[in-house]
Structure 1
Amino acid sequence: MHRNRKAKIIATLGPASAEHETIQRLFHAGADVFRLNFSHGTREAHRGYFEKIRAVERQVNRPVGILLDLQGPRIRLGEIEDGAIRVEEGQLVRFELEAGVGNQQRVPVPFAEFFAALKKQMFILADDGRVRLQVEACAADFAEARVVRGQGVLATRRCLSIESGNLQFTAFTEKDRVDLEYGLELGIDWVALPYVQKPQDLVELKRIVAKRARVIAKIDSRASLANLDAIISACDAVMIARGDLGFDTEPEDLPGIQKQVVRAARKVGNPVIVATQLLDSMAVSPVPSRAEASDVAAAIYDGADALMLTTETAAGKQPVAAVQAMSKIIERTESTSHFHEVLSVSHPTSWVTKADAVGAAAQNIADRLDAAAIVAYTSSGSSAFSMARERPKKPIVGITPSAAAARQLALVWGVHAVHCPEATDELKMTELACRIASEQHFARRGESIVISAGVPFGKAGSTNLLRIAEVE
């Protein structure tokens, strides 16, 4: 089976999607990658999710990616009685460093750096920015702040942010270190780090990962935007975390920021993920709003590799319906007559590597010959990444002897990943490419395919071969 779309879907797992049957239905509905959010749940629960995903992978006989999303140094509320309290405009809220279980009288924030950074008249944002509070009094272990705008909930483990605040802490915490080692031992494919403010924030994480997974930097603050190009160059992919960005920027700035980040990532060939509130109403509604459908379509026109569902699939009432809706919107958007015309306007013109040049040539040849598909034989996945950078009209079949690379490619725009035997010479590689293109229903007998590979075979990052073959 293969999808009828190029952009990929990431589904976050949680209480609403914890069962094996639900995960299987999410895959068939369109989920290409599953996200394990280590800000919530126990490590044992995430191990359960991991094992169920791999069981589904074996059943469907398709590579399925798994993304570990680290918590990072986020300011999160502690445990609150009955899960949440509601706050209204004008209400005074007391935050405490050591407050036990919170209630209407006191709200726990077990994060000393939060209180250290506060000053009178500063603003605190809560409930995804719906609630704005102004600090009236504060010390090292408490703060009193009044709701000056909006109404909403303060819920267990939900994030707080200091508006335009400059919190000084490391992006990679001790909890992240333990969670990362745990995930790498399981065999995760991608790892995302939040609150990356500069490329140096990724150094320790990449040292531990040691190429056992690919690294995603989350763009979620003004600081990360200020160092955007350097951060993109230091990682394998980026995620536009619009929820956290919304804490640090104005709503009217987000559409432009989204385009800026997508274009910067595409320029160097790094996948880019758009996340947060894409189909937010589907946490409770069976259908998306018109505005949400337009938001999804806008991200696709921007050229995003993947879109991520969070609450919709982790805690929503109809997680499968949310994936189905997103898949349909993407398919319909990509089928419009002007889709590739819009993508070409924002296409990066410079070639970053030799592999990028080969990718551009492969697209050109495939279009001129009306080839059935472009096949990238790749040890590490880099050839397929370069093909995806070009956003070709023809399908990309990424074939690799590495199961890990095949799973990583599940996130990349337009790539249909296939785990295959290793080829030892050009003839065997060509025969393998033709056979897989036929078996996967991308090419029929007599049709041409364009093949890229690297010589010598098995050497990662050596893309230097381009050839045309006819399927027999």
Structure 2
Amino acid sequence: MKTIVTMGPSTGSKEVVKALAEAGTDGFRINFSHGSMEIWSEYVNYITDAERELGKPLSLIGDLQGPNPRIGDILIGEINFVPGEKIHFTFGTMSKNKEIPVPYREFFDIVKPGDTILMSDGAISLKILSVDEGEAVAAAETSGTISSRKSFAIKGKKLYLPYVTPHDIECLKFAASYNFSHIMASIVENQGNIAELRGITSKLFRDPPEIYSKIETEEGYNNLEKIINVSDGIVVARGDLGSHFPMEILPKVQKEIIRNSRKLGKPVVVATQLLSSMIESTTPTRSEVVDIYNAVLEGADALMLTNETAVGKHPVEAVSWLKKISKEAITIYKEDKALLEDSLFHRFAFGLTSLSESLRAKILVYTKSGLTGKIISAYRPEKGFFAGVPNVNIARKLALYWGASPAVIEAQSYDDGLLKLRELLRTDGIIKNGDILIETFRFKEGEMHSLRIFYVR
């Protein structure tokens, strides 16, 4: 089970990032909706420093804001309110008083009295009372705090914004300059969104990143299979899903997204409010433990912490608990394995994982593009697998795949890569006398292919 953390003020130091990596973090997410490029650059430096010091590939993940409507800047800092209190929305990019600035004229055209505005992953609910040109008044149905640039949703309605925004373009340029391995695409509602994004990343990046589609809306959920087919991975964005679906059916939505992603052989990440209590507490609640446990048993490839590490008081402890719970859940995780695609490549990977489990063997693979490792991961070998790759960019991409332990190995050939990978694992004490190894490399139809079985002495 892979672990992703979100960077923020609580993780904004070299020491904390290294501690998070040592605690078992596989990928670091930078939310491009918050902060500045100067701060993001510092985060990247902390992550790559930890990567070098620990000799452990760490995924660099950029999360785009997307066509996600957000309020403007509240210059007084934040607005606190209680149920029944009136809240004023005004048109503009900023407000100096206790008003919420909305930088979209269309908002005031489509919102009507009786509509509900949801914020903070659905935790804040505001009922519209009246609307005038450039102004709306709402009554708070919940207590809460609103600060600058927070996202919002109009329940049952949609603001139509361009999919890739100018802000996103600048963020992609930043990500390209640092060779980010992954981009999380927000509010993906159809396969065309991903085609548009890939067209941009293919021009900006020397080595285009993996694109993980965040399923956050009803339209995205309804187009789920089409989106999965054109994505490298999927994110179950439970916070925003909670603004578009009744809370009581969210477990069903999560299960369906995971099930369909697994059926199509794509990695799936479960995110948001996994350990919310640990923003303040040093230990999780029992319900959080059960939630994480069930996400693992449902088949998630990775779990992603958001506020727990971005602004929480105990980011390292949160990761430690996440790893502890998921490790326990994996001990009883079972899946009825079946061929995901009727191709020779998939039949080979399926047979390879079955053989490794029958022999209780460790799989070693050398892959120049990472594709062989990705296909093997889809069949979830019980002992995982070790993958030698030629550069750090491929290693960072593989780092989020289920069971993958990538290492950068410079090699003259596939055989040379496997030999060096075996020697590295022996030196690190991962391979021991008595172990059984299965070594292989890329599978290409029409070529002779070898699969070697070793008994380590």
In the superposition, the TM-score normalised over structure 2's length comes to 0.93
Q: 1:448 aligned to 433, 436, 454, which one?
A: 436
Which range moves more in the overlay, 445-454 or 256-265?
Answer: 445-454
Query: CA offset at residue 113 of structure 1?
Result: 3.7
How far, CA to CA, are the matches of 1:425 and 1:283 in structure 2? 46
Q: 1:154 aligned to 139, 146, 170, which one?
A: 146
Fraction of identical pairs, as percent: 31
- Could you list the per-position Cα deviations for residues 265-303 of structure 1 after superposition, in whole angstroms to 9, with x for gaps in the alignment? 122221111100100111111111111111111111111
Q: Which amino acid aligns with 2:112?
A: K
Query: CA offset at residue 217 of structure 1?
Result: 0.7
Structure 2: any 5+ residue segments left out of the alignment?
none
Q: Which amino acid aligns with 1:323?
A: V
Q: 1:386 aligned to 371, 375, 381, which one?
A: 375
Aligned residue in 2 for 1:439: 427
- Secondary structure of 2:170's partner? helix
Aligned residue in 1 for 2:60: 66
How far, CA to CA, are the matches of 1:277 and 1:226 in structure 2? 23
How far, CA to CA, are the matches of 1:256 and 1:423 in structure 2? 49
The reply on whether 1:95 has 2:89 as its aligned counterpart is: yes
Summarize the Cα distance change of 1:425–1:49 in structure 2 as closer, same or farther, 3 Å threshold: closer
Total equivalences in the alignment: 452
- Could you list the per-position Cα deviations for residues 196-231 of structure 1 after superposition, in whole angstroms to 9, with x for gaps in the alignment? 110101122111222521111111100100110111
Matches for 1:413-424 after TM superposition, within 5 Å: 413-424=402-413
The reply on whether 1:121 has 2:114 as its aligned counterpart is: yes
How far, CA to CA, are the matches of 1:234 and 1:464 in structure 2? 29
Which range moves more in the overlay, 234-243 or 163-172?
Answer: 163-172
Summarize the Cα distance change of 1:70–1:19 in structure 2 as closer, same or farther, 3 Å threshold: same
Summarize the Cα distance change of 1:174–1:375 in structure 2 as closer, same or farther, 3 Å threshold: same
The reply on whether 1:41 has 2:35 as its aligned counterpart is: yes
Aligned residue in 1 for 2:195: 203
- Could you list the per-position Cα deviations for residues 4-60 of structure 1 after superposition, in whole angstroms to 9, with x for gaps in the alignment? xxx111111111111111111111112111111110000111011111111111111
The reply on whether 1:133 has 2:126 as its aligned counterpart is: yes
How far, CA to CA, are the matches of 1:331 and 1:36 in structure 2? 25
Matches for 1:41-440 after TM superposition, within 5 Å: 41-98=35-92, 100-104=94-98, 106-147=99-140, 149-210=141-202, 211-335=207-331, 338-339=332-333, 341=334, 344-345=335-336, 347=337, 349-351=339-341, 353-371=343-361, 373-426=362-415, 428-440=416-428
Q: CA RMSD in A?
A: 2.1
Structure 1: any 5+ residue segments left out of the alignment?
1-6
Summarize the Cα distance change of 1:323–1:109 in structure 2 as closer, same or farther, 3 Å threshold: same
How far, CA to CA, are the matches of 1:182 and 1:99 in structure 2? 24
Matches for 1:9-24 after TM superposition, within 5 Å: 9-24=3-18
- Could you list the per-position Cα deviations for residues 318-372 of structure 1 after superposition, in whole angstroms to 9, with x for gaps in the alignment? 111111111111122223xx32x3xx14x4543264432222111111122221x
- Secondary structure of 2:94's partner? coil
How far, CA to CA, are the matches of 1:179 and 1:204 in structure 2? 15
Q: Which amino acid aligns with 1:469?
A: F
Kept in 1, the 8 Å contact 2:364–2:418? The answer is: no
Aligned residue in 2 for 1:468: 453
Q: Which amino acid aligns with 1:431?
A: L
- Secondary structure of 1:129's partner? coil
- Could you list the per-position Cα deviations for residues 427-468 of structure 1 after superposition, in whole angstroms to 9, with x for gaps in the alignment? x34423432442344432453212332267xx9xx9965443
- Secondary structure of 1:240's partner? strand
